[in-house]
Each structure stands twice: as structure tokens, then as C-alpha cells.
Amino acid sequence: MKRRDFLKAAGVGAAAAASAVAAPAIAQSMPELKWRLTSSFPKSLDTLWGTAEVFAKSVAEATDNKFRIEAFAAGEIVPGLQAADAVSTGNVEMCQTAAYYFIGKDPTFALPCSVPFGPNARQQNAWQYHHGGIELMNEFFKKYNFVGFPAGNTGCQMGGWFRKEIKEVSDLNGLKFRIGGFAGRVLAKLGVVAQQIAGGEIYPALEKGTIDAAEWVGPYDDEKLGFQKVAQFYYYPGWWEGGTQVHHFINIEKWNQLTPTYRSVVRAASDQANVWMTAKYDASNPGALKRLVAGGAQLKPFPGPVLDACLKAANEVYQEVSAANPDFKKIWENLWAFRNDEYLWWQVAEYTYDTYLIRTRTRT
């Protein structure tokens, strides 16, 4: 046999052998699989809900439709505030939710989502991905039979819609305020009557005067819900939600059953969702804010003394909860030390750069 013919034959044989080995391995790593995802958000909120669709599409495309995840809006399988329970019991494989919805189970659930005067969105990501935040939280989440991964962030939220002005700390006393999670406990120290009301019920409650104020997310979502029609004063910043992290919770048994390939796909698609949501809000909020102000909304900053009183109350709550809850204390101290170091850097470059351009943006 000629040397050229020999090499050609050997190459064909090697390729055939490689194909025989590779095909079963690929087939085993990408089996046919269908999951259900239940969201805590309605379809009307196209950024929060839309991120679930982005995630599901990404998983399907990466697996040539072998792994399909069908997303269901709040209420289609279970109510939005029961999403984590459905995952914990195995009724669904996964959910898209805000962890702080479940502080009734344990206040530690607030920490990876958003807490008063906590880190902003970029700092949240830095803590989660590069300071052990994901691992710390999953050590906690396993008590509830699921694992969790970052899956979106709203960025800093607004302070909400008020039927009357907040000029001083005493104006908070007796205020009936739709506000969820940990912040409600903080504001209670200042006399606020905190109320947890589902998104679809906020407008009529404000319109009827059942509540005096309400917070949701920010201009883009708030405009969709029409709050500007029933409350005049739009306050900022949402000091209780400086960077609100949305999570995917996945039933731990279902997660452990996934092939390494599928786990990587889910993690990568969650990362994509995380970037997509923040970018969508950053792109959509400026135009919505302009429209709201043009329509009569009165944009107001919280007075400095009000913010100072809220910070003092928040620090008191952190100390109280930490004294009673070892899980909370461990994660809160880790997160707070990281946040403080981050702001050492931000005050040097990020904040200086941004504030200069804010002052001079009309010159260019």
C-alpha cells in the first residue's frame, strides 16, 4: 500500500472510531427533558416576566430543543408569592422570583435580593459571583430543598408614589404604605403601617385611599400600572432596593439529576437573564420617567433627615435580627463588609465619574 493511501485509510478509520464514541456521549449529555418554571410576576410586566421567556428560549436554543422549559406567569400554576413553595415541594422544577417575598419563612431570604441601604446592582453581582455569595446562599437554600442563581436585577428602584408630601420624619407616622419585605419592618419603627399588597391590587387601593402610598419598581413598570393617575408625588431613591436581585430557584433533586451539560446551560442562561433584565430597565426607565413628569408627576427626593432616620432604624433592625438568627448574621456581616469595601472604590472612580457627567451632560 502506498504511504498516501495508508494515511488516508487510517484517517477514515480514526474518524469513524471517534464518531462511534462521541455520538453516544453527546446523546447521553443532551436527553429529551421538559421542565416547568413558575414566575412570581404577571405577563403585563414585560421586563420581569420577559426575562423568564428570555431564559427559557436560551436553554432551548443551546440544547437544540432537547431541554425545554415552559414558563408560567404568576397565578397560572400557583400564586406569585407561593413560587418558592412549589419548587420546595417538587410541584414544579423551578421558579423565577424575588427571594425577599419569603422572609416570613426566614429574614435571611431578603439578603440576596435587596435590603435597606444594601449594595447596588453591580455590587450585588460582584458579591454573588466573586465573593462567594452564590455559595453562601445555596448553603442556606438547601434547607428549603432548592438551589438558587441570580437571574435578573432591576437596578435601583424608586421610592414610590405618595398622596401627600413627605417633608419630615413625622410625616411617616401613621402612613399606610404598600411596601414589601424587610423594609416594612424598618419603616414600622418610624410609625409606618406597612402593607403587603399584590401588584394588581395596588392601583385600586391607592385610588380608594385604602393606602396612602405605594412602591413597586421604577418608572417603566410604574407607568404601566398607572400609579401617576392616583398619587401625585413620586419619591426617590428607593433606599430599600438599591439593586433588587431576581433569582431562579431550582428543586435540588431535579438539579442533581441534570447532566453536567444541562447544568452549565442553565447557569449560562441564568447569567444571560441577569444581564438582560438590568439592561432592559436601564434602557426603558429614562423615557418612562420623562413621560411621567410631563404627565404631572411631581418628582421629589426624600429629605436628608428622613433618610437618616430610616438608616438608623435599618441598622437597629439588622442588629436585632442578627442577634436572633445565626444564618442572617453570618450572611449579613459578609455582605456588609463587602458593600463597604466596594464603596471605597466607587467613591474614587465610579461615583466621581458619574456625578461629573450628571452635572455636565447638557454641555455635550
Higher pLDDT, 255 or 27: 255
Q: Give 16's pLDDT tier (boundaries 50, 70, 90).
A: very low
Residue spans of the domains in the chain: they are 32-153+243-283, 160-242+297-363
- Each residue's pLDDT tens digit, 134-156: 999 999 999 999 999 999 999 99
Pick the CATH number of 160-242+297-363 from 3.20.20.30, 3.40.50.10470, 3.30.70.260, 3.40.190.10: 3.40.190.10
Sign of the dihedral defined by the CA atoms of residues 316, 318, 320, 323, in that order: negative
Q: CA angle 172-178-184, nearest 5°? A: 65
pLDDT at 9: 47
Listed in sequence order, the DSSP H helices in the chain are: 3-29, 48-62, 83-88, 121-130, 133-141, 181-188, 199-208, 219-225, 252-257, 260-294, 304-324, 326-346, 350-360
Assessment of whether the complete model's pTM goes beyond 0.85: yes
pLDDT of amino acid 197 = 80
For 32-153+243-283, CATH number out of 3.40.50.300, 3.40.50.2000, 3.40.190.170, 3.40.50.1370 equals 3.40.190.170
Q: Tell me if 32-153+243-283 shares its fold with 160-242+297-363.
A: yes
Mean pLDDT of 20-37: 73
Q: What is the DSSP string of 199-237?
A: HHHHHHHHHHTS-SEE--S-HHHHHHHTGGGT--EEEE-
Rg (CA), the chain: 24
